[in-house]
Structure 1
Amino acid sequence: MTSDYLTPPHSLEAEQSVIGGLMLDGGQSERCQKVLSSLKAEAFFCRPHQVIYEELRALNQQQKPIDLLTVFDSLERKGISETIGGFAYLAELSRYTPSMANIVEYSKIVRDRAKRRYGIEKLNQMVSLMYANDGLSADDKLESVQTLFTQITDYSKVGARRGLRTFGDVFGDWAEMVEKRFTGDQSAIGLTSGIPSLDAMLEPKRIVKGSLFVVGARPKMGKTTLYLNMAINCALNENLPALAFSLEMPDIQLVERMITQLSGVASSHFYASGFDQMKFGLASAKAGELIQNGNLYIDDTPGLSLAHIVAECRRIKRERGVVGMVLVDYLTLMKAEKADRNDLAYGEITKGLKNLAKELDCVVVLLTQLNRQLENRSDKRPQPSDSRDTGQIEQDCDYWLGIYREGAYDEHADQRATELLLRLNRHGASGVVYTEQRNGAIYDCDQATAKRNVETREAQPTKKKGGF
């Protein structure tokens, strides 16, 4: 017989020192506030310690003093003081704390042991899942394993558990995020698009993380141009991984368009007949910025499935710890599961991409082709209901942006003028943003002047040409 018994990783001494240090310090110092805002009660292994620490946080949120007497009085009024060892145990915690100056380091020990316990818990779930005869296929089981790995990664970063949580727990997370916003922490706010006028419309929340951002347009309107602009902006300006999945364009062509857009050098200079050493050097230097930055990833696998995109995104999340944007060009070229109707099949993809955005706490940008019928209208500006083969998009997306170029229908109109129509924004205002497309890139412009030009043009009779 062996007496060996594997107990879950924990440090009772560190837990006691955190609680004792908080009571000795009074909870008002910067080090105490750092511990109370970052360490959650669930990180404690000992149940009485969880109860005591939760009471400390409650007193802090109520802006009440924290010491031996106030904590005991609060627990006594709730009738739970004896469950944690009474006044004697609280006094013992205070008496034997090595140093209240080191409570931040003690809290790191508590957090480290909690991470290890959580990892063990999830790994055990993975083993049980693979052994279980529950009718699931191996692929389904591996998909679940991937999800569990993502949960481990999330917990190691922010300590967030899935499942039901009290309002107080969630409020604590919210308060911590608000504090980060006030201190200028960019991780606590949304992402930008790289187009100043559109970003101004999206302020103050910007493009909220966990959102599905749908871009809809007819062919040749500039969907891919906007897609590349957002990917480059995420990689360089937001300094976050941007994962570009292209079903329409090979990766080499995509890279060429990115270099053109970033450098302003026309792609004709990349061919022998138009070669220019100076311009090629400028383009190469700009490409070098993206290479050195290392945040831009491209996948041009034909007929991409939702499962492939999810697996690749989770892989990057594990490797990098964070994902900024996932960009998919475009919906109806994706491999859909069998369904009675196309709208149902593609609806499953949009729901899956929305769930992916929430799971990875990133923004998913999805391009979609619009129905030809919109060209029969007098006003051909797109609406969310014009999305081809899916009515689910309006329900799943948080943002819906249409792209419109009058020059596609009127040969006398400015061929560069482009309208970005933010039709749906669940987090703020919607409206029209005026831009210009030049040499394969999209640029901001003076909004008042552009609006006057549109109004003047629409007040005059025009000669139309055929649509697409």
Structure 2
Amino acid sequence: MNKISTIPATPDGADTDPLPHNIEAEQQLLGAILTNNDVFDAVASIITRDHFYDPVHADIFEVATARIAANALASPVTLKSFLEDHAGLKELGGAAYLVRLAGSAISSYAARDYARMIYDMSIRRQLIDLGRNIAAKAAKVEVTSEPKDQISEAEQHLYKLAEAGQVNQGFQTFLSAVTDAVNVANAAYKRDGQLAGVSTGLVDLDKKLGGLHRSDLLILAGRPSMGKTSLATNIAFNIAKAFRAGPLPNGKEGAVEGGVVGFYSLEMSAEQLAARILSEASEIPSDQIRRGDMNESEFRRFVDAAKSLESCPIFIDDTPALAISQLAARARRLKREHGLDVLVVDYLQLVKGTGRNENRVNEISEISQGLKAIAKELDIPVLALSQLSRQVENREDKRPQLSDLRESGSIEQDADVVMFVFREEYYKEREKPGEHELEKMATWQQEMEHLHGKAEVIIGKQRHGPIGAVDLSFEGKFTRFGNLVQPWQKGSDREF
């Protein structure tokens, strides 16, 4: 096949080294579209006009796209009238060039391969352009431009490039979907019919949720001092502690038990978060650890716990006010470099949007949608903590409900699971009567004794299962949630 003449590969004034491109692939793909408009449907999810190297080809593709979108024929004859005055096309022969494109058409079955080739070349050109911009900015030493800001900016540009380049999966056969569903059920069956997802280490919560499922966004909400961060930390520690690698059903190496945990701690420092985990593992109150108030045996226990946790695959990022784009980019990098099975975000309202939304409700919507997108893209459960509005405090029954989610209904909408942490003991403690009210004091003490060391996780929404409450134990001095031993379970293996 003779090569169709077109514009030079390297425009005037450009570098002597031409950018990656494949003019013949562009010509032959356009020819295929102009001879069979059905080809467009096969490639529309892969490329746009911006992916073409030759600007004339980009304009031809754009006009053809508009015609096909309007259910009109896009052929050399129909496109001729729209491009008669196009200066670039005139240089190539005008309408005769459109006819030559049609004559060079490839068969429709190869169209997607050609589209991916054009797309790959475009991404390479954008990466080169981005690299040059990074180099130019780094070379220009300015007081207002620090290296760490340039790194952050480069990460954001790379993230946008990766997002723009995702090829939509489109429709899949029902057989493929059924196969995936059977594989999930098989995994649960092999675990004695208990869990399809990652175990939280909390038996009753696992029974209600079936574990943490891949691609799910789970919201854990509560008022301050309810123990949101403590519960999230406990779950993260339980998952990392149980981590065991091995061959997966797809033949790849991965977590067969537990998992690698990424923890975005936007409120607490990494050191404070580690102290909480150490408090739970060593059974030394976290305030004692913070003050260093330990005797020799406690300190030895503390050091032993620290050594045992060295190999725990928990990765903590305590960068404050992290943007959702950076959060996603760093999660991708963690999965690529170390693996990632569960992501925890503490907490949602401290994540920043892209800055395009001046409205706070819209910004929260953008963040919750971004977290759900991360869960689906990385195929992992994302556990995001969330604040609740103050209206909870104004009700007699302080148990939270879905309408209490703060600032945006989209959190409830985007989440697959919404859970609330509730400790009635916290509120009852603040109702302590005066010392002279003996009868009320006796009743209050009795109620406090009943509520002491207990917590509830209220499942307000679950897309794939039942809602309801799960009772847990809570040891405040160790900031530890655990399985609540019922009276009839005394002496059983659940007493821990």
- TM-score scaled by length of structure 1: 0.61
Match for residue 202 of structure 1 among 200, 209, 216: 209
Alpha-carbon shift at residue 283 of structure 1 (Å): 2.3
Match for residue 244 of structure 1 among 247, 263, 276: 263
* Change over 3 Å in CA distance of 1:234–1:120 after alignment to 2: farther
Alpha-carbon shift at residue 253 of structure 1 (Å): 0.9
Q: Does the CA contact (< 8 Å) of 1:130 and 1:141 recur in 2?
A: no
* Change over 3 Å in CA distance of 1:273–1:297 after alignment to 2: closer
Letter in 2 for 1:404: F
Q: Give a deviation string over 1:331-378, Cα, whole Å, max 9, x none.
A: 112223342421111110000000100111111111111111111111
User: What residue is the counterpart of 2:344 in the other structure?
Assistant: 327
Structure 1 residues 378-387 or 161-170, which shifts more?
A: 161-170
User: What residue is the counterpart of 2:378 in the other structure?
Assistant: 360
Q: Equivalences for 1:152-191 in 2 at 5 Å?
A: 162-183=169-190, 189-191=196-198
Alpha-carbon shift at residue 140 of structure 1 (Å): 6.6
* Whole-Å separation in 2 of the counterparts to 1:387 and 1:372: 10
Instruction: Check if 1:126 corresponds to 2:123.
Output: yes
* Change over 3 Å in CA distance of 1:125–1:357 after alignment to 2: farther
Q: Does the CA contact (< 8 Å) of 1:403 and 1:420 recur in 2?
A: yes
* Change over 3 Å in CA distance of 1:257–1:313 after alignment to 2: same
Q: Equivalences for 1:307-386 in 2 at 5 Å?
A: 307-320=325-338, 322-336=339-353, 337-386=355-404
Q: Does the CA contact (< 8 Å) of 2:185 and 2:196 recur in 1?
A: no
Q: Does the CA contact (< 8 Å) of 1:264 and 1:441 recur in 2?
A: no
Q: Name the count of aligned residue pairs.
A: 319
* Change over 3 Å in CA distance of 1:222–1:272 after alignment to 2: closer
Match for residue 212 of structure 1 among 188, 212, 217: 217
SS in 2 for 1:274: coil
Q: Equivalences for 1:36-51 in 2 at 5 Å?
A: none
SS in 2 for 1:410: helix
Alpha-carbon shift at residue 202 of structure 1 (Å): 2.0
* Whole-Å separation in 2 of the counterparts to 1:162 and 1:185: 33
SS in 2 for 1:409: helix
Letter in 2 for 1:368: S
SS in 2 for 1:225: helix
Alpha-carbon shift at residue 268 of structure 1 (Å): 4.4
Q: Give a deviation string over 1:19-38, Cα, whole Å, max 9, x none.
A: xxxxxxxxxxxxxxxxxxxx
Match for residue 417 of structure 1 among 425, 440, 454: 454
Alpha-carbon shift at residue 163 of structure 1 (Å): 3.0
User: What residue is the counterpart of 1:275 in the other structure?
Assistant: 294
* Change over 3 Å in CA distance of 1:264–1:325 after alignment to 2: same
Q: Does the CA contact (< 8 Å) of 1:323 and 1:361 recur in 2?
A: no
* Whole-Å separation in 1 of the counterparts to 2:372 and 2:289: 38
Letter in 1 for 2:237: I
* Change over 3 Å in CA distance of 1:212–1:447 after alignment to 2: farther
Letter in 1 for 2:470: V
Instruction: Check if 1:227 corresponds to 2:246.
Output: no
Alpha-carbon shift at residue 128 of structure 1 (Å): 5.0
Alpha-carbon shift at residue 307 of structure 1 (Å): 1.2
Q: Does the CA contact (< 8 Å) of 1:243 and 1:296 recur in 2?
A: yes
Which has the higher Rg, Structure 1 or Structure 2?
2
Identity %: 31
Alpha-carbon shift at residue 324 of structure 1 (Å): 1.4
Q: Does the CA contact (< 8 Å) of 1:269 and 1:279 recur in 2?
A: no
Letter in 2 for 1:361: D
Alpha-carbon shift at residue 122 of structure 1 (Å): 7.4
Gapped runs of 5+ residues in structure 2?
1-21, 23-113, 131-152, 243-256, 430-443, 490-496
User: What residue is the counterpart of 2:422 in the other structure?
Assistant: 404
SS in 2 for 1:168: helix
Alpha-carbon shift at residue 235 of structure 1 (Å): 0.9
* Change over 3 Å in CA distance of 1:302–1:283 after alignment to 2: same
* Whole-Å separation in 2 of the counterparts to 1:122 and 1:312: 25
Greater percentage in helix? 1
SS in 1 for 2:413: helix
* Whole-Å separation in 2 of the counterparts to 1:166 and 1:132: 39
Letter in 1 for 2:124: V
* Change over 3 Å in CA distance of 1:150–1:242 after alignment to 2: farther
Gapped runs of 5+ residues in structure 1?
1-5, 7-116, 152-160, 451-468
* Change over 3 Å in CA distance of 1:255–1:272 after alignment to 2: closer
Match for residue 394 of structure 1 among 412, 430, 445: 412
Letter in 1 for 2:402: P
User: What residue is the counterpart of 1:264 in the other structure?
Assistant: 283
SS in 2 for 1:163: coil
Alpha-carbon shift at residue 309 of structure 1 (Å): 1.1
- TM-score scaled by length of structure 2: 0.58
* Change over 3 Å in CA distance of 1:435–1:449 after alignment to 2: farther
SS in 1 for 2:428: coil
* Change over 3 Å in CA distance of 1:380–1:212 after alignment to 2: same
